[in-house]
Structure 1
Amino acid sequence: MKAVNNCLSEIGQSREPHLSTAIPMHHRTSPPLRVAPDDEAYWLSIRASMQPMYVNTQLVNTRRGPAPFRVREVIRSLVDLSLAYELDEYEPFRELKESGSSVAIRQSLAAYFGASADEIALTRNAMEGIATVLNGVTLQPGDEILATRFCYDSNLAIIHQRVRRDGVVLKFVDLPFGPASEADIAAAFEAAIHARTRLVSFPHVVARTGLVLPVKQISEIAARYGAFSFVDGAHSAGHIAVALDELGCDGYAACLHKWMYGPRGTGFLYIRRDRIKDVWPLFASWSNKPKDSIEKFEEVGTVFKALPAAILETMAFNLEVGQAEKTARLRYLRDRWARQLGAHDRVTLLTDLDAEPGTGFAAFNVEGLAPQEFAAALLSDYGISVRPFSMEEDAAMAGIHLSPSLANSVEEVDRFVEAATAILARTHNSFRPTT
């Protein structure tokens, strides 16, 4: 019970040794990295602290990342209380709202991502925040939603439902598949938007290729037309530095279980203070929160409180590793395989490895070998998992995706390169070059 009591005592408090360093991203200078991305002894210690339970060598981590053991221990220590306590004067989670949120949690998220606590609502995942905004922005028949073919399929499903239900119009921005400059991306949004556009929805990071969209420029374009700019941040939060008040978007939704390595079932929704009133909550506020209160988005019913109770431990882990160090490590792992494999005459990279800011994602195609064939051979013969993909709205946009995480090692990445090179060599005779 001592460990449990210690955990409970921290739920409603800011963890001063850690959160005192949580300066918003845009206020930070760029000092030298505290740990080099190729310091393998250090990064192996981080991997050991995460204790990933992979069956195969998992080089795709876009769905979820392994929570550090320390975060899992907090959750384990609180499971029984979360399932058994009564709502009375002995309430052990008295600092947490019914939704699992607390002032300390919102403050820690706001500090890390460059926002104010009154602009951050705790959610159970990115999709909850995404569904809130995509369903909550008021639209009239004939109004237009501007999106991209790179939006997550669940996001597009919500938009398609609004098209059917409300008679709104969905329009796609014509973006290239593969490398693209920020200027070209912004120009494409500028060309697509018009007076009937009311909502602009796009990912910060394209999950398959790692392309980073210029949020600030796109948000400025949307603002000129009075449109609500909404960012899917599932793959930027914890992956690259995010300063929400610098990005200028009206809304941003993310989860904490991918690149923040937090509990599955936790996330957050950011709505810029002056736009909160413009978004209806997914659930009507039963406590009559005013329309300009960020807390109206947190009234979602009963949650399993052991999960949000571990968020402060998650934030402590990320602050101790450092966002700049995390980003540098992820890019190092990407470059280690992508620059070698990209030099092969049958391989076409779909990712600009020199783009800034860059991610740990990259994708490629192999001439003469379908993505599914390559991935199947890699898994069956070498026990290495990568992801063949095709975009939901355009199957011609296809390739092979890798996204190593902090739980991956250089040895695993190098073994992938060796295996991929072997597959390319043994399929050489069956390959017929195009003329």
Structure 2
Amino acid sequence: MRKIDRKQFLKQSGWGIAGLSFIDWLEPVEAAEQVAEWQRVRSYKPPEIAQDEQFWQTIRKQFSQDDQLINLNNGAVSPQPKPVQNALIENYRQANRQPSYYYQMKLEEQRDALRASLAEEIGSNPEEVAINRNATEGLNTIIFGLPLERGDEVVVSNYDYPYMLNAWRQRQKRDGIKLNPVALQMLVEDEEAIVQKFANAITARTKVVHITHMINWTGQILPAKKITEMAHEKGCEVIVDAAHALGHFAHSFAAIGCDYYAASLHKWMCAPFGTGMLAVKNDKIAKLWPLLSSYDPKSDDIRKFEISRSRL
């Protein structure tokens, strides 16, 4: 099991004055306070900042607080810092000032810039990344978009997210596929034992292996790369649910080697509510049906999976 403390957070977030682009979205007094505080600790090393309570109190001020509630659940949605809230509100106002122009022109430009940033975050090609509303939408796109036939088998586990299991059960009822569930016992430290459990569930009819990279109930991190390598050796495609993994530890879509990947940005990443991403290997895009209708559902353009323009 791995934990992230303040020291690790600072290292992974690339802290420093270069990270102050959010200042533009703060009130003048708050902005001045933030700049002064970051300047004060500029020469500090991560271990020093991790113990600096004054610094963390300044960070805390950037989140809206309800004094009547202690939030212990960031797994569903995480609070957005004030700069994110302010930017979201201003963009909403801009959309109302220039409705059609904003959605048909400006939003598309911003979408591709965001696509590039998300691709960099997960170590992927921008043309493999689609922007959507959450991991559930991304995973449902994959689950309902794969061209599976009656009798094809899919490996899942008892710790997969319920909505994902429900989606697979719907395909089971509708299309006659078979689910082979892996019964995981948590917490298990032996990665090879976990890989073997998945391997034991694969048969000659298995087409897909579904992996939850970080289990939401326990925080257990499954060896996604090792499971993927094993599954590929047996001729199976691999889906990785990274809803919680993305915000907790560094990993790469390319390094894992999976075929399909989805994550939520409004969880530990503190992005606006209703934001997520889907990643699909280039050579898999064309065969995957979009969840919503598309002008060319068999296109190899990742944008066919996005809800944009008039479909908003």
Q: TM-score range by the shorter chain?
A: 0.7 to 0.9
The whole-number CA distance in structure 2 between the counterparts of 1:281 and 1:44 is: 45
Equivalent residue for 1:216? 225
Choose from 137, 140, 165 the match for 2:149: 140
- Does structure 2 retain, via aligned residues, the 8 Å contact 1:231–1:252? yes
Equivalent residue for 1:280? 289
Cα displacement (A) at 1:72: 0.4
Counterpart secondary structure, 2:240: strand
Equivalent residue for 2:248? 239
Structure 1 segments unaligned to the other structure (5+ residues): 1-16, 20-31, 305-435
Structure 2 segments unaligned to the other structure (5+ residues): 1-17, 21-44
Letter in structure 2 aligned against 1:298: E
How big is each residue's C-alpha offset from its partner over 1:299-328, in whole Å with a ceiling of 9 and x where there is no partner?
456477xxxxxxxxxxxxxxxxxxxxxxxx
Letter in structure 2 aligned against 1:296: K
> % of aligned pairs identical?
35
Choose from 117, 125, 140 the match for 2:126: 117
Equivalent residue for 1:66? 79
Q: Which has the higher helix share?
A: 2
Equivalent residue for 2:23? none
- Does structure 1 retain, via aligned residues, the 8 Å contact 2:129–2:302? yes
Equivalent residue for 2:39? none
The whole-number CA distance in structure 1 between the counterparts of 2:304 and 2:265 is: 20
1:154 aligned onto 2:168: no
- Does structure 2 retain, via aligned residues, the 8 Å contact 1:285–1:299? no
Letter in structure 1 aligned against 2:301: S
Matches within 5 A, 1:344-363: none
- Does structure 1 retain, via aligned residues, the 8 Å contact 2:289–2:297? no
The structure with the larger Rg is 1
Greater relative contact order (Cα < 8 A, sep 6+): 1
Equivalent residue for 1:228? 237
Counterpart secondary structure, 1:179: coil
- Does structure 1 retain, via aligned residues, the 8 Å contact 2:132–2:307? no
Structure 1 residues 35 and 170: alpha-carbon distance in aligned structure 2, compared to 1, 3 A threshold: farther
The whole-number CA distance in structure 2 between the counterparts of 1:203 and 1:77 is: 36
The whole-number CA distance in structure 2 between the counterparts of 1:125 and 1:255 is: 5
Matches within 5 A, 1:373-388: none
Equivalent residue for 2:304? 296
Equivalent residue for 2:105? 94
Choose from 46, 66, 73 the match for 2:59: 46
How big is each residue's C-alpha offset from its partner over 1:167-221, in whole Å with a ceiling of 9 and x where there is no partner?
0101111211223321111111111112211111121101011100111111112
Counterpart secondary structure, 1:229: strand
The whole-number CA distance in structure 2 between the counterparts of 1:197 and 1:35 is: 51
The whole-number CA distance in structure 2 between the counterparts of 1:93 and 1:242 is: 34
Cα displacement (A) at 1:291: 2.5
1:85 aligned onto 2:93: no
- Does structure 1 retain, via aligned residues, the 8 Å contact 2:214–2:244? yes
Counterpart secondary structure, 1:87: helix
The whole-number CA distance in structure 1 between the counterparts of 2:149 and 2:170 is: 14
Counterpart secondary structure, 1:171: strand
Equivalent residue for 1:188? 197
Cα displacement (A) at 1:289: 6.9
Equivalent residue for 2:41? none
Structure 1 residues 290 and 134: alpha-carbon distance in aligned structure 2, compared to 1, 3 A threshold: closer
Structure 1 residues 123 and 164: alpha-carbon distance in aligned structure 2, compared to 1, 3 A threshold: same
Greater CA deviation, 178-187 or 229-238?
A: 178-187
Equivalent residue for 1:164? 173
Structure 1 residues 191 and 103: alpha-carbon distance in aligned structure 2, compared to 1, 3 A threshold: same
Cα displacement (A) at 1:53: 3.4
1:76 aligned onto 2:89: yes
Counterpart secondary structure, 1:57: coil
Cα displacement (A) at 1:125: 1.3
Equivalent residue for 1:270? 279
Counterpart secondary structure, 1:58: coil
Figure out how many residues of one structure are paired with residues of the other and give that number: 271
Counterpart secondary structure, 1:50: coil
Q: TM-score, normalised by structure 1?
A: 0.58
Counterpart secondary structure, 1:277: coil
Q: TM-score, normalised by structure 2?
A: 0.80
